[in-house]
């Protein structure tokens, strides 16, 4: 006899969704969460005046149907990200304002970027989402980084600068740090590049009223006592009779376990017996991305008056991407910005004061002198978070998909793997997390009597 049917490790979106599905099937579930809060890579924050700001993942796109369905079921509401007016791009000191899809590039640059995008998306079309390592050209696509592919396919400095900034913006990693196969898998998983990069019509179209972390909070409310906070898991013992999970402060037994934390962190647990080498090897080489998210608040969203959307893209600065992140009623103005990839690691070495100065200086270049006088600045360095250790998610370097990919979601005995990294649709996004929770719960429920 075990304490529970299923124990879930991690009270992020994936884990809570899995737990909800287990409960819905009439089975006993418990969720062990290391932190004193739920929601994982979603994180609510408040400005001094009480305005909610989001310090973690926050946007939802309309094709992210599973998370949208969940939002609806939980009685939450979404509102559109502010996206009216022109965007700006800064490159080699030149600020370009634009209202089309050009990203402010020169005609030649935009043409070359478009050509490369077409070629990449044609390649992505050949990738299997359910098992990328079986794609026809998997070996060739996986032995090179997306950086190598770009360098060998264009000499255009502007195009290379663009890709060198857009890749970290999407992956919080540098082009050299990721296999081409992973890049292709990921963009296909989200419906190709425009869908990933766009606000309206793309992955950044909607926000959740009160913040995306409220999805997890509502799920946790439903689950009640089944969610145990402050319970970092240290060890999973597993065998024919079930699983035992040791955490700081106790242990529980169950018939199956769903591990809903990123692979890099899952690899740090103790398993008894130890995991197969293929699974262990995967967790050795799926590092988390690097990002520091900053929120800069102003009395008003002044850029709107200048006809600007707040979308800024700097190829020159540490803070590479900005967006309007003001509350729905526009009662004050908030610009959100990101230090990503190598820029995040560089910015992490600055003092908080220096980092703030760097971010604000970029905002001034993008949106004018008014950006120089914020009323508030908040930041979140996800690399420092012990129980996340980087955002947006885990990535696979050259060779890893083909050598270890099969171990990413394949259960090991009574251990099932969830998390945004394991989804074949909207991999790395909240929608992927929800899908992974459903998939892992279904696996565990199917095999409960096994």
Contact positions toward a second copy, by CB under 8 A?
142-145, 147-148, 152, 174, 176-177, 232, 234, 264, 267-268, 270, 274, 276-278, 280-281, 284-288, 290, 342, 345, 348, 381, 383-384, 386, 389-390, 397-399, 403-404
Cβ 291 to a second copy shortest distance, Å: 11
Cβ 284 to a second copy shortest distance, Å: 4
Bridge partners of 256?
6
Q: Which is nearer to a second copy, 401 or 417 (CB)?
A: 401
Cβ 152 to a second copy shortest distance, Å: 8
- Residue 49 is inside which H or E element, if any? none
Cβ 231 to a second copy shortest distance, Å: 14
Q: Which is nearer to a second copy, 280 or 316 (CB)?
A: 280
Bridge partners of 415?
257, 412
Cβ 410 to a second copy shortest distance, Å: 13
How far is Cα 9 from Cα 271, in angstroms, rounded to an integer? 13
Q: Which is nearer to a second copy, 168 or 190 (CB)?
A: 168
Q: How many C-beta atoms surround the C-beta of residue 73 within 10 A?
A: 12
Q: What is the CA radius of gyration of the chain?
A: 22
Cβ 234 to a second copy shortest distance, Å: 7
Q: Which is nearer to a second copy, 17 or 283 (CB)?
A: 283
Measured in degrees and rounded to the nearest 5, phi and psi for residue 417 equal -115, 125
Q: Which is nearer to a second copy, 240 or 386 (CB)?
A: 386
Q: Which is nearer to a second copy, 148 or 410 (CB)?
A: 148
Cβ 304 to a second copy shortest distance, Å: 35
Q: Which is nearer to a second copy, 124 or 398 (CB)?
A: 398
Cβ 92 to a second copy shortest distance, Å: 19
Q: Which is nearer to a second copy, 367 or 382 (CB)?
A: 382
CB contact at 8 A, 360 and 374: yes
Q: Which is nearer to a second copy, 32 or 74 (CB)?
A: 32
Bridge partners of 376?
297
Cβ 34 to a second copy shortest distance, Å: 11
């Amino acid at each position: 006899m075990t304490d529970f049917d299923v124990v879930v490790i991690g009270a992020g979106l994936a884990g809570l969704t899995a737990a909800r599905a287990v409960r819905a099937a009439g089975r006993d579930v418990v969720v062990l969460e290391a932190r004193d809060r739920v929601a994982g890579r979603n994180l609510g924050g408040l400005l001094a005046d009480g305005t909610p700001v989001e310090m973690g993942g926050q946007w939802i796109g309309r094709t992210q149907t599973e998370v949208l369905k969940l939002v609806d079921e939980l009685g939450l509401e979404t509102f559109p990200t502010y996206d009216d007016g022109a965007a700006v791009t800064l490159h080699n000191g030149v600020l370009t304002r634009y209202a089309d899809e050009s990203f402010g590039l020169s005609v030649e640059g935009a043409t070359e970027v478009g050509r490369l995008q077409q070629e990449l998306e044609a390649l992505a079309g050949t990738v299997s989402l359910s098992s990328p390592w079986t794609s026809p050209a998997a070996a060739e696509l996986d032995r090179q980084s997306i950086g190598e592919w770009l360098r060998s396919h264009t000499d255009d400095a502007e195009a290379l600068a663009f890709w060198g900034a857009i890749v970290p913006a999407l992956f919080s990693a540098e082009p050299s740090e990721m296999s081409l196969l992973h890049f292709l898998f990921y963009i296909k998983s989200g419906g190709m590049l425009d869908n990933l990069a766009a606000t309206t019509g793309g992955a950044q179209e909607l926000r959740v009223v009160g913040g995306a972390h409220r999805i997890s909070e509502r799920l946790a409310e439903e689950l009640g006592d089944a969610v145990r906070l402050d319970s970092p898991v240290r060890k999973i013992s597993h065998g024919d009779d079930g699983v035992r999970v040791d955490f700081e402060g106790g242990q529980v037994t169950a018939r199956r376990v769903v591990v809903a934390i990123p692979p890099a962190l899952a690899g740090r647990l103790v398993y008894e017996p130890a995991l197969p080498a293929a699974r262990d090897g995967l967790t050795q080489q799926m590092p988390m991305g690097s990002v520091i998210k900053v929120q800069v608040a102003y009395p008003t969203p002044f850029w709107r008056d200048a006809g600007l959307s707040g979308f800024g893209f700097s190829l020159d600065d540490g803070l590479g991407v900005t967006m309007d992140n003001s509350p729905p009623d526009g009662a004050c103005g908030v610009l959100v910005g990101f230090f990503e990839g190598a820029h995040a690691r560089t910015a992490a070495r600055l003092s908080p004061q220096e980092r703030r100065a760097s971010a604000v200086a970029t905002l001034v270049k993008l949106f004018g002198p008014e950006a120089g006088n914020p009323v508030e600045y908040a930041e979140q360095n996800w690399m420092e978070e012990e129980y996340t250790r980087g955002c947006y998610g885990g990535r696979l370097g050259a060779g890893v998909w083909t050598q270890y990919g099969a171990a990413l979601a394949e259960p090991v005995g009574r251990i099932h793997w969830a998390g945004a990294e394991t989804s074949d649709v909207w991999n790395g996004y909240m929608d992927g997390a929800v899908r992974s929770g459903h998939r892992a719960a279904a696996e565990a429920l199917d095999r409960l009597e096994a």
